[in-house]
Amino acid sequence: MPTRRDGTTGRPLPASAPWFDRRPDAASSTATGPRPGDNDREATTTGGQATAHRCDTMQQLTHLVLIMGAALAGGLLASRLNMPGSVIIGAMLGVIVLKLCLAAPLALPRQWSLFIQIVVGATVGSRFSMDMLQQLRHYAVPILISALLLILLGSVMAVVFTKFWGIDPGTAFISTSPGAMTAMTGMAGGLNVDIFLVLTFHITRVILVILLAPAIMRISRMFL
């Protein structure tokens, strides 16, 4: 029976040597150095990845220019209507028309979502004034009662919409919550809910308030 030898040192292995100490022969071992053509394949892979990254960047920039251009045109056009929320509604409709005309899945880069939320927050914060604090001190009780009742009513409607219409709970709550359309839309983007459905709820609310407010004010003056 031939003597078993270590594949690296050439020394004989003892008969009791376990299987994991029996190293393979040098002839059967896999070479660790680079094989011919490895460098070419790596260069090709790296070049392909760089090209794909450049194409993806150009696609994002193209989507950004198209979307912002359509939003700007729609917002400026709708601002002539002098209606509350007309700018955001016009921008939204401009982008929708663009997507319908191109039939392409246009989307803003993810980084812009954070930037837009910051702009919305800055817009809401810039409306703060010291007069608001004075009014809050004088009308604190009716302001709190009104806000709490509207939040409670919105929560009840959110539960109903979730149970019977299958709307996501977060989307239903933001959609039925009282607040400015711009602020609610920005909050929807931060909470990762259905922004389009939230915006649809609040657009409908704003339109109905604009249409019904004059009649409601006339009726209220008759009884108050």
Q: What pLDDT score does 27 carry?
A: 45
**Comparison of pLDDT for 165 and 50, the residue scoring more:** 165
- pLDDT score recorded for residue 173: 94
- Dist CA 13 CA 23 (whole Å): 10
pLDDT-derived band of residue 21, with 50, 70 and 90 as boundaries?
Answer: very low
Q: Does 42 score more than 80 pLDDT?
A: no
Q: What is the pLDDT of residue 121?
A: 80
26 pLDDT band, cuts 50/70/90, is very low
CA distance 183 to 174: 10
pLDDT at 158: 95
With beta carbons less than 8 A apart as the criterion, state whether 203 and 85 touch.
yes
User: Mean pLDDT, to the nearest integer, of 51-80?
Assistant: 84
Which pLDDT tens digit goes with each residue over 85-111? 678 778 888 888 998 898 777 777 777
150-174 mean pLDDT: 94
pLDDT value of residue 9: 53
pLDDT at 196 over 60: yes
In the chain, the amino acid numbered 132 is M
| Number of residues in the chain | 224
Query: How many Cα atoms occupy the beta-carbon half-sphere of 82 within 13 Å?
Result: 0
What gap in Å lies between CA 10 and CA 121, rounded to an integer?
75
Closest CA to 195 of 102, 103, 120: 120
Mean pLDDT, the chain, whole residue set? 78
Q: What is the distance between the alpha carbons of residues 183 and 123, in angstroms, rounded to a whole number?
A: 9
In this predicted model, what pLDDT tens digit does every residue of 103-143 receive, in sequence order? 777 777 777 767 877 887 888 788 888 888 888 888 889 98
pLDDT at residue 68 greater than cutoff 60: yes
Angle at 213 (CA atoms; ends 219, 89), nearest 5 degrees: 170
Q: Per the structure block, which two tokens stand in for 173? A: 């709550």
Structure-token pair, residue 182 = 């711009």
